[in-house]
């Protein structure tokens, strides 16, 4: 059982056991969601936008995707539900004064806290780093912590003063259950909009069909009906003259 050099192999060197599953650092994965674009995987930079599912993107990355959806992208599923620019909202974020960015550890000789958020809640000051639940308002795009919205209940935005409803609140980087609820809400909203649009189209088609059956076509504004208006004007003028002649005793 000896090997070259007189060494004796050990059991773990001869018997191959099951491969160890590499564990993903949950803290690092969580921090990455709040610092990197969900589409391009680049660092988040202004302008930052979010979708109806609460994911964070760089606006330029989403625009590039919308301009060329056929291009292959590693995270295309993250934006598959975005149909156009109307499906995203630019976020009104509050900078964290303690965030120094890449300048803080440029030499690599300082400890870098991965949980230090780039942005904070403007009401209670919590950092937007994944440890606390954050939301944004679809009406104005302002971002707040969930604690601020619960502690200071109001129907007016704390930052810009625009009115909003509970249905306008979208959770940022929520868990699976929260994302499923947001997806269900998004699909329901789109279905209602589609039904409303189809009803409007049918009503327009019905009006145009009835007009074609009657043989009357509504003329363009300012052009049609010129001759009829002139004839009607002449008849109305003659009728008015007759009325004045009959009523006024001066003419009798």
Per-residue pLDDT band at 112 (split at 50, 70, 90): low
**pLDDT at position 105:** 52
Quote the CA–CA distance of 91 and 238 in Å, as a whole number: 67
Residue 247: predicted pLDDT: 55
Cα(60)–Cα(129) distance, integer angstroms: 22
Tell me what the pLDDT averaged over the chain comes to.
81
197-234 pLDDT, tens per residue?
888 887 787 777 666 666 554 454 544 444 444 454 45
Identify the pLDDT of residue 246. Answer: 58
Higher pLDDT, 44 or 106: 44
Q: How far apart are CA 119 and CA 28, in angstroms?
A: 17
pTM of this prediction exceeds 0.85: no
Sign of the C-alpha dihedral computed for residues 216, 221, 224 and 229 taken in this order? positive
Token pair recorded at residue 64: 């590039």
Query: pLDDT tens, 172-192?
Result: 999 999 999 999 999 999 999
Return the pLDDT at 228.
Answer: 43
- 38-93, pLDDT tens digit by residue? 999 999 999 999 999 999 999 999 999 999 998 888 888 999 999 999 999 999 99
Domains of the chain, start order = 26-100+115-194 (3.30.40)
- What's the pLDDT at 222? 47
Alpha helix segments (H runs only) across the chain: 11-14, 26-35, 59-67, 146-151, 176-214, 226-247
Give 98's pLDDT tier (boundaries 50, 70, 90).
confident
């Amino acid at each position: 059982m000896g090997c070259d050099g007189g060494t004796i192999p050990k059991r773990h060197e001869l018997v191959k056991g099951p491969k160890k599953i590499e564990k993903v650092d949950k803290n690092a994965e969580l921090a990455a969601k709040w610092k990197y674009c969900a589409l391009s995987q680049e660092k988040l930079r202004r302008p930052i936008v979010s979708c109806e599912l609460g994911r964070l993107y760089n606006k330029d990355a989403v625009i590039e995707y919308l301009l060329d959806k056929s291009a292959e992208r590693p995270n295309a599923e993250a934006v598959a539900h975005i149909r156009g620019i109307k499906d995203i909202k630019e976020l009104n974020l509050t900078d964290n004064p303690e965030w120094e960015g890449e300048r803080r550890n440029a030499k690599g000789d300082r400890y870098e806290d991965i949980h230090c958020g780039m942005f904070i809640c403007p009401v209670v000051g919590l950092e937007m780093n994944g440890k606390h639940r954050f939301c944004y308002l679809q009406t104005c795009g302002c971002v707040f912590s969930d604690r601020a919205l619960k502690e200071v209940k109001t129907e007016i935005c704390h930052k810009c003063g625009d009115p909003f409803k509970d249905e306008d609140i979208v959770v940022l980087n929520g868990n699976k259950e929260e994302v499923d609820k947001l997806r269900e809400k998004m699909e329901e909203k789109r279905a209602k909009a589609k039904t409303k649009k189809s009803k409007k189209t049918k009503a327009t088609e019905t009006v145009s069909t009835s007009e074609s059956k009657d043989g009357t076509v509504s003329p363009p504004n300012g052009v049609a009906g010129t001759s009829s208006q002139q004839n009607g004007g002449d008849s109305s003028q003659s009728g008015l003259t007759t009325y004045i002649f009959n009523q006024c005793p001066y003419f009798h």
